Structure 1
Amino acid sequence: MKKSRVALAVSLGLALTTVGVAVTMPERVLEAEFARQRWLAGASQHTLVAAGHRWNYLEAGQGPLIVLVHGFTGSKENWLPVMRELAKTHRVIAPDLPGWGESERQADADYGPGAQADRLAEFLATFHEQPALLVGHSMGGQIVGLLAARHPTQVGRIVLMSSAGVKFEENQFGREVLAGRNPFEVTTRAELRRYLGIVFTDPPFVPWPATEALVRRRRADVAFEQGILDRIGRGPEAFSLEAELPKIQAPVLLLWCRDDRVIDVSAAEIFHRGLARSQTVLLAGCGHMPMMAQPGNVAEALLGFANAAP
């Protein structure tokens, strides 16, 4: 009886400690989940300095190089579900772009798509190996496209996934952006649920206290996000990639979800018409985050394109 009481007391103590950590340090819970996903993907964290910034990135696997570039409000962790598949046959790298996530942000620096494309070119040069595949999602797609147009010798094949950079059919997201609002803004848990409802057709369940940690991160970035959206959503660089599509000679895979409520699927046809060499894969039953919603299908499409005959 005495031993059972001691065991119960220890269990209650551990439980209360866990709850205490969750309440006072929800970031620890979120970091633990990212650590679990890194372990599943066989990924490790690294840093390097390029283009005058410290970059934080994930790396997994061995073989031909695949580089994955996140989008607006995104991070390297968005790629962990698909990295788990790609790393079985490839070396996979996913950075936080400068200004985002755990990479360095400098006051008054230009984090528009053109400047980021030049920085990404310098980041890639540090690996002394041309990527077999360079993948950009949303804002990251615009950055990858500009890099392919302006630094053609640094890319082989590229993938534009739900990519920004061209004028697509008007939708609610676009109307809000043009009106000066940030539909992705998150300062409360209610706004986090709204955000997830925009980017996913079937929003994932995010338990407390991870929700609190995500809200705190996004709340701290409200002004930064607004400034970037002014550049990529309604400023002079909003559709800068469209004008440079004829310069892209690399083979391009256009990968979209049919139900994307952020970058309407009509953008894929605009890209196709402007590119010298492209093919399109459309996925059903997902929204703006195919690499998280359907990692298996995305990995299959990426590997099929990477391994296709010239």
Structure 2
Amino acid sequence: MPFNRLPLGSLSRRLALPALPAAFAAALMLSGCTAGQQDTLFEKAIELGRDAAHLTLHSADVGDVEMRYLERPGTGPTLLLLHGFSANKDTWLKFAAELPENYHLIIPDLAGHGDTPAPVNEDYNLIRQAERLHALLEKNGTQAVHIAGNSMGGAISAIFATRYPQQVLSLTLIDAAGVDAPNQSDYFKALAEGKNPLIATDEDSFEYRWNFVMSQPPALPWPLRPAVVRKTLAREGINREIFSDMMATKDELTASNFEQQLSENATMPALIIWGAEDRVLDVSSVEVFKQKLPQAQVKIYPGIGHLPMVEIPHETATLMSDFIAGVE
């Protein structure tokens, strides 16, 4: 059945979201779904996804920006989840819905991503991003967290654990940036040729990016796909600024011998999760992180790309909750 003939309940199941209201289905049938309706439908799908995970939207002044974040109260462990470059807090929705219901979840949009605007100084240095998270936890009244990050968010998690180890109960790195892999990935080969597959500039490059970062991408059918494409393309300019600061941070970390600092300071329990088919950050990065974090448990998923928590949310959430249960 073509996507444009899928019942809305079927579309929602493919996205692992609750069934969407019949009013939206009627609007689609009567109007053919304009761009504005596609955007509205996408926002409704996100809202329902947040509701399914019992997450609500909050904000906090962290000094140079008003940070927006999702939170779910709970009497169990507190888990801080950090998204990657050009992503946002909603990357974690399916994963969050699979975690134990008593978990206290804090899922921010890093500065310049999602609903958090550009900071006043337009500084996207990853060390500064970690400092903002420290301020967020202070405003939130949270003393200590289990921190987990993907890609750029993984690098920020490692930086946070190195600078504020007393606040970190455990560290989980999911296809994380922050170290130099022994084997060059397809992504770094593309960068060497002057291309950046993570920054979409048109619909074709969006499609390439979608399949580049994931080996098992979730279904994103019409009419949600056009809305996601528009939102992604609108970020091209700010993504280039953030990427520039991210690469400058990489040089700064290398100059400051960050890997040695990680070994010395990040002595808390650790978990390393990776997709064996990651084309962005090669799986050989695991060897380096394991050398710096000898206490870390390691799980490599065959057939999975750069976003395990999106591609296999149930498996990764179960793995992490079992790991945290062992720490607690």
How many angstroms apart in 2 are the aligned matches of 1:139 and 1:70?
Answer: 7
CA apart distance, 1:141: 0.6
**Contact residue 198 and residue 209 of structure 2 kept, 8 A:** yes
Question: What displacement does 1:28 show?
Answer: 1.2
Structure 1 match to 2:204: 190
| Greater than 6 Å deviation, 4+ residue runs | 10-13
Question: Does the 8 Å CA contact 1:166/1:238 hold for their aligned counterparts?
Answer: no
Determine if contact 1:70/1:136 at 8 Å carries over to the other structure.
Answer: yes
Aligned to 1:305: 323
Q: Is 2:189 the counterpart of 1:175?
A: yes
Cα 1:11/1:306, change in 2 over 3 Å = closer
Tell me, yes or no, if structure 1 residue 52 matches structure 2 residue 67.
no
TM-score, normalised with respect to structure 1: 0.88
State yes or no: 1:228 paired with 2:242: yes
Percentage of pairs with the same residue: 29
Tell me how large the CA RMSD over aligned residues is: 2.4
Whole-Å Cα distance in 2 between the matches of residues 52 and 127 of structure 1? 17
Does residue 76 (structure 1) correspond to residue 89 (structure 2)? The answer is: yes
Query: Is residue 2:287 matched to residue 1:266?
Result: no
- What are the Cα deviations for residues 164-210 of structure 1, in whole angstroms up to 9, with x where unaligned? 01111102111122444321122322222111111111233322332
Partner of 1:205: 219
SS in 2 for 1:73: coil
Contact 2:274–2:286 under 8 Å retained in 1: yes
Larger Rg: 1
**Is 2:262 aligned against 1:245?**
yes
Which piece of structure 1 moves more, 228-237 or 107-116? Answer: 228-237
Post-superposition CA distance 1:259-306 (Å, at most 9, x none): 111111111110110125212111222111111111111111111111
The normalised TM-score by structure 2 is: 0.84
- Pick from 157, 170, 185 the counterpart of residue 144 of structure 1: 157
Aligned position for 1:255: 273
Which residue of the partner structure matches residue 18 of structure 2? none
**What is the distance in 1 between the residues matched to 2:24 and 2:312?**
38
> 1:24 corresponds to which letter in structure 2?
G
Q: Do the aligned residues in 2 keep the contact of 1:260 with 1:288 (CA within 8 Å)?
A: yes
CA displacement 1:130-152 (0-9 Å, x = unmatched): 34411111100100111111122
Partners in 1 of 2:295 and 2:130 — Cα distance? 21
Query: Counterpart in 2 of 1:27?
Result: 39
Q: What secondary structure, in the 3-state scheme, does the structure 2 residue paired with 1:282 have?
A: strand
Gap runs ≥5 in structure 1: 1-9
Deviates more, 1:132-141 or 1:45-54: 45-54
Note if contact 1:183-1:195 (Cα within 8 Å) is conserved in structure 2: yes
Distance in 2 (alpha carbons) for counterparts of 1:180 and 1:236: 18
